[in-house]
Copies of this chain bind each other. A is one copy, B any other.
Amino acid sequence: MPGQNGTWGEKTAGEKAARDVLDAVLRRAIAAADPREILPRHLPPLPKGRVVVVGCGKSAALMAAAVEEAWPEVPLEGVVVTRYGHAVPTRRIRVIEAAHPVPDENSLRGAREVLAAVQGLGPDDLVLALISGGGSALLTLPAPGLTLEDKRAVNAALLASGATIHEMNVVRKHLSAIKGGRLAAAAAPARVITLAISDVPGDDPAIIASGPTVPDPSTFAEARAIIACYRLEMPEAVRRHLERGEGETPKPGSLPHASFTLIATPMMALRAAREAAQAHGVPALILGDALEGESQALALALAGIARSVRRHGEPAPAPCLLLSGGETTVTLRGGEKPGRGGRNTEFLLALALALEGEPGIWALAADTDGIDGTEDAAGAIIGPDTLARARAQGLDPRRFLERHDSYSFFEALSGLVRTGPTLTNVNDIRAILIT
């Protein structure tokens, strides 16, 4: 990564050391979520029978490639569904690309082929299910009698209703032919081993990609109650399907042939990042793996913690690295024409303004998928002189923040961090180094 990133012109020794720590931290966080690095050690012993690999999510193709690499001689079969542009070359496992976040016909095709691939297996066969974020939209199969259009109408109604994520999932799982453990049920009696990369707060297996291999405690009755509670208008076919309540999701205890392993999570990436910092002699404090809220608001809060480290040695003495994960949001006010930028560069610009050039504080924030928002950078790095350097170039940092034009700001300062798309995702990593 060093060398790919922008330079800051003449670097002081302290600046160089700070950038080295932050670069290493990001590199290790991404490596901790890279299927090629982490997946092989989670592979089970080879079964007597066949090995069928299925999967869905933005990382599905890369995970499939990692399996092929780890088992070069094994006659693998199966199919995984990933997002358009997220395929990588594979030789034995097929890759289908489909639309995200709104499913398309390829999502249906993908789901049908995944289900077909696990049919007719025996107890000596192994199904390896490779699950990652985005899998819910990519692997979509309406229950018999329902259409993709029905599911889209339900989704739109749910999103507008104020229902919680949990409630939405209860309804969705009862309109699907593959979610909520149905994929694992279809694979029986073969053993099903799921290897998953989490990008959801709490890392709940039932939530990642809507849990196609995970038992579902919720019921048709609950789905109906949620529809009634929020007075949701449902297509007639959906209403009838829920009333009939045929084909309940597999309940806890009913999938003894299936096991589930998280191979990468935001917290695992943060802990790997902490080790990287410690190897540079910098102790790190992990504040949390799912910090949310507006980018600017979180910047203010973390600036206060960073200042406290410098002034008071609380919550930890300097040198210290404050790590956090999760996804922030950037809310645009109505009528604004926003500039270019993602939630990480917005966070950093707000952090620089909150720190007002406080000496000895550097920070990096980046999306572990390598793409901050819609831009070609993963994030950026700031230092104590970020504001001064901007002003020396005639740039007004506050105006850039007001226009949500943080990408342009850091591009002008050569402060962007580029990793290229990583094809994995454990959300953002924010690292604030107090020296």
Binding site for B on A (CB under 8 A): 201-202, 267, 270, 285-294, 297-298, 300-302, 304-305, 307-308, 311-312, 314-315, 324, 326
Contact = CB atoms under 8 A, between A and B. Distances in A.
A291 B293 CA distance: 15
A290 B324 CA distance: 19
Contact of A287 (B286, B308, B326): B308
Given A267-B314, A312-B267, A288 B307 contact: yes
Nearest to A304: B291
Contact of A286 (B202, B270, B307, B314): B314
A287 B312 contact: no
Given A314-B267, A315-B315, A308 B286 contact: yes
Contacts of A301: 291, 293, 297-298, 301-302
A276 to B, nearest CB: 16
Nearest to A284: B315
Contacts of A290: 304, 307-308
Contacts of A304: 287-288, 290-293, 324, 326
A186 to B, nearest CB: 32
Contacts of A286: 308, 312, 314-315
Contacts of A201: 307
Contacts of A308: 267, 286-290
Contacts of A315: 285-288, 315
A278 to B, nearest CB: 14
A312 to B, nearest CB: 5
Given A286-B315, A315-B315, 11 more contacts: A202-B311, A267-B308, A286-B308, A286-B312, A287-B308, A287-B315, A290-B304, A290-B307, A291-B304, A297-B297, A298-B301
Contacts of A312: 267, 286, 289
B305 A291 contact: yes
Contacts of A326: 304
A327 B311 CA distance: 17
A181 B311 CA distance: 24
Nearest to A298: B301
A292 B285 CA distance: 20
A297 B293 contact: yes
Contacts of A267: 308, 311-312, 314
A305 B291 CA distance: 7
A269 to B, nearest CB: 12
Given A285-B315, A304-B326, A315-B286, A294 B297 contact: yes
